[in-house]
Amino acid sequence: MQRMNREDMAARVARDIPEGAYVNLGIGLPTKVANFLPQEREIFLQSENGLLGMGPAPAEDDIDWELINAGKQPVTLLAGGSFFHHGDSFSMMRGGHIDICVLGAFQVSVNGDLANWHTGAADAIPAVGGAMDLAVGAKQVFVMMDLLTKGGESKLVAQCSYPLTGLSCVSRVYTDVAIFDVGPAGAHVIEMVPGLTIDQLRDMTGVDLQLALEIA
């Protein structure tokens, strides 16, 4: 079994983003997806701190600290982009105008619950940012994460043990070994890396898994 690295995962997610989609890429791993969007597709990246039509990172000399993404990294604005205030920005999100949001996660449940903002540790200082708004607002929420924690526990779970970010909000989970559709009908495997079997995947996750029709 050949696990995908982070670049492979980002490229795989990018493949599923259609031309014309309005997309918000979460902080961290999801940000990498931007690097793999096919040049021939026009895709609109939104950043919740107030820009639409986000372009790639600027050259060192062109860095403008009033032109950053939600991860506070310098970005650029494409021709046709625009700026707006936080109210309008989160109306885009909450109002269902964003087609796809890609987020990282601590855990996702087979029915699509998401936990990605709080480990639940007693001494942790909680910080939520826009996570809950992104989770609940986008038409489709994609999650990118390694399937297992460093300790070998599955992050795809029957029920989240970490505090939730949103209920039944995730539609698809991209991991380093497989891709799952999740939701009311439970988890369906739609892709696996070569060499991995559904039985092995069931062992790794410990959750009820179906093979999607396409690959069954």
Partner 1 sequence: MIDKISPSLRQAVADLHDGASIMISGFGDAGAPHELMDAVIEHGATDLTIISNNAGAGETGIAALIKANRVRKVICSFPRQAASHHFDARYRAGQVELELVPQGNLAARIQAAGSGLGAIYTPTGYGTLLAEGKETREIDGRNYVLEYPIHADFALIKARAGDRWGNLVYRKVARNFGPIMAMAAKTTIAQVAEVVELGALDPEAVVTPGIFVNRLVQVAPLSVAAAA
Q: Does 57 bind partner 1 (CB under 8 A)?
A: no
Catalytic one among 19, 42, 48, 191?
48
Out of 80, 152, 194, 195, point to the residue binding partner 1 (CB under 8 A).
80
Output 93 or 178, the one with its CB closest to partner 1: 93
Out of 58, 104, 111, 132, point to the residue binding partner 1 (CB under 8 A).
132
Residue 66 known to be catalytic: no
- Lateral strand order in the sheet of 100-103: 76-83, 51-55, 44-47, 22-25, 100-103, 140-144, 170-174, 178-181, 187-192, 209-211
Q: Does 108 bind partner 1 (CB under 8 A)?
A: no
* Stretch of residues binding partner 1 (CB under 8 A), selected from 68-76, 143-151, 182-190, 205-213: 68-76
Q: Is 191 left (phi over 0), alpha (psi -120 to 50) or beta?
A: beta
Q: Does 133 bind partner 1 (CB under 8 A)?
A: yes
State the burial class of residue 76 (Cβ atoms within 10 Å of its Cβ: 0-12, 13-18, 19+): middle
Q: Does 86 bind partner 1 (CB under 8 A)?
A: yes
Alpha-carbon distances, residue 144 vs 102, 123, 139, 149 (angstroms): 7, 27, 17, 13
Q: Does 77 bind partner 1 (CB under 8 A)?
A: yes
Q: Does 22 bind partner 1 (CB under 8 A)?
A: yes
Q: Does 87 bind partner 1 (CB under 8 A)?
A: yes
Task: Please name which of 127, 122, 110 lies closest in space to residue 207, comparing C-alpha atoms.
Answer: 110
* Stretch of residues binding partner 1 (CB under 8 A), selected from 9-17, 92-100, 141-149, 173-181: 92-100
Q: Does 62 bind partner 1 (CB under 8 A)?
A: no
Q: Does 112 bind partner 1 (CB under 8 A)?
A: no
For residue 65, what are the contacts with CB-CB under 8 A and spacing of at least 6?
Answer: 74
Q: Please identify every residue annotated as catalytic.
A: 48
